[in-house]
């Protein structure tokens, strides 16, 4: 579906987009009517429902709505961001697509929004009967506002504990399956317990390290098992957190090597990008073309304005 011809021809790109979003023909975004007629402008349709009569295109109601970037460049942008394991910088997109840096930056954030889990339907619970979910937390970068305890206000600055000066991330990965990551204001027991409760099936086996953050996990899942990193125990039988720690390695290498830095308010979108590629990896039977198709399909029902993104 995607290739050099699609990237060079606007009509082929539009037809590819329409086939992904409307496999059975155009559907009005405003009233969901399947009755329509084409207007004089190619790619623009008008709803035939007498109570609607609104115009729509394949980008209406998606992250691409009101974009002045040609569809062929959107298709190629999705493909580029879905092919790379560690991500693609806005500068690389700018050079490859021959658009401005501002447009490339905004495009990349809108594509990340399309990759975000959820949208039209709520995400399914992770795990289930007999399945294993690994949970772990990590810390990345520095928060926009450095934490200063009440006791230290007005005193000379001293470098605080690493976890105070970093952005907490909590991730849940189903063994051999999907991952779900969260950027949280603080990683404490209540926050982590709520994340587990809302995202993991109660019949799941949960594997974590011995951190106090997971002290109440036995109340939320069928069985909670831990590995003791303090004594250099990283696996005991099938009890391990190697999968989630491997994801953290991919995420941090990508952020430091490709993106180098990001504002804290954007971190959740970068997590969505890395989650998406992990959830649609080759080991799950998903190739580059299908991954791009799924990302484009995920654009429906989501909007991200420049003001929201900036």
Which pTM was predicted?
Answer: 0.89
Whether 117 has a pLDDT exceeding 50, the answer reads yes
Residue 25 pLDDT level (bands cut at 50, 70, 90): very high
User: Which pair of tokens denotes residue 44?
Assistant: 């623009």
CA distances from 207 to 43, 189, 197, 204, 235 (A): 50, 16, 14, 10, 10
Rounded to an integer, the average pLDDT of 128-149 is: 81
Encode pLDDT of 105-115 as tens digits: 999 999 999 99
pLDDT-derived band at 165, boundaries 50, 70, 90: low
**Fold entry, domain 132-279:** Nucleotidyltransferase; domain 5 (3.30.420)
Q: How far apart are CA 117 and CA 74, in angstroms?
A: 20
Closest CA to 280 of 34, 133, 115, 109: 115
Check if the beta carbon of residue 270 is closer than 8 Å to that of residue 259.
Answer: yes
CA-to-CA dists, residue 75 to 91, 196, 285, 288, angstroms: 18, 36, 22, 13
- Nearest residue to 302 via CA among 110, 40, 100: 110
Q: Cα separations (Å) of 64 from 2, 258, 271?
A: 18, 24, 20
**Residue 122 pLDDT:** 79
Confidence of residue 173 (pLDDT cuts 50, 70, 90): very high
C-alpha dist (Å) from residue 91 to 102, 106, 132, 279: 10, 12, 39, 26
CA distance 213 to 29: 44
pLDDT confidence tier of residue 286, bands split at 50, 70 and 90: very high
Confidence of residue 145 (pLDDT cuts 50, 70, 90): low
* 156: pLDDT strictly greater than 80: no
Residue 149 CA to residue 152 CA, distance in Å, equals: 5
Q: In whole angstroms, give the CA distance from residue 273 to residue 255.
A: 11
Which residue ranges does the chain devote to CATH 3.30.420.10?
132-279
Average pLDDT over every residue of 72-90? 95
Residue-level pLDDT at 118: 81
């Amino acid at each position: 579906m995607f290739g050099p011809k699609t990237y060079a021809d606007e009509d082929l790109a539009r037809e590819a987009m329409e086939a992904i979003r409307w496999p059975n023909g155009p559907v009005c975004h405003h009233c969901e009517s399947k009755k329509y007629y084409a207007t004089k402008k190619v790619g623009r349709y008008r709803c035939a429902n007498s109570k609607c009569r609104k115009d729509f295109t394949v980008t209406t109601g998606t992250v691409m709505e009101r974009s002045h970037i040609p569809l062929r460049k959107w298709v190629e942008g999705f493909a580029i961001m879905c092919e790379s394991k560690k991500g693609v910088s806005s500068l690389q997109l700018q050079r490859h697509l021959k658009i401005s840096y501002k447009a490339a930056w905004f495009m990349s954030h809108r594509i990340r929004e399309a990759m975000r889990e959820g949208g039209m339907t709520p995400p399914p619970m992770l795990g289930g009967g007999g399945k294993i979910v690994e949970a772990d937390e990590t810390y990345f970068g520095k928060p926009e506002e450095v934490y200063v305890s009440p006791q230290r206000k007005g005193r000379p600055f001293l470098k605080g504990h690493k976890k105070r000066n970093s952005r907490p991330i909590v991730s849940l990965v189903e063994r051999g399956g999907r991952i779900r990551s969260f950027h949280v204001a603080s990683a404490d027991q209540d926050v982590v317990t709520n994340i587990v409760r809302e995202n993991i099936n109660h019949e799941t086996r949960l594997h974590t390290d011995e951190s106090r953050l997971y002290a109440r996990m036995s109340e939320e899942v069928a069985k909670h098992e831990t590995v003791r990193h303090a004594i250099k125990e990283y696996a005991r039988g099938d009890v391990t957190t190697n999968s989630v720690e491997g994801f953290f390695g991919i995420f941090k290498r990508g952020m430091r090597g490709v993106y180098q830095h990001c504002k804290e308010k954007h971190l959740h979108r970068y997590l969505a990008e890395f989650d998406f590629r992990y959830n649609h990896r080759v080991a799950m039977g998903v190739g580059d073309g299908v991954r791009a198709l799924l990302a484009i399909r995920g654009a429906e029902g989501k909007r991200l304005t420049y003001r929201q993104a900036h």
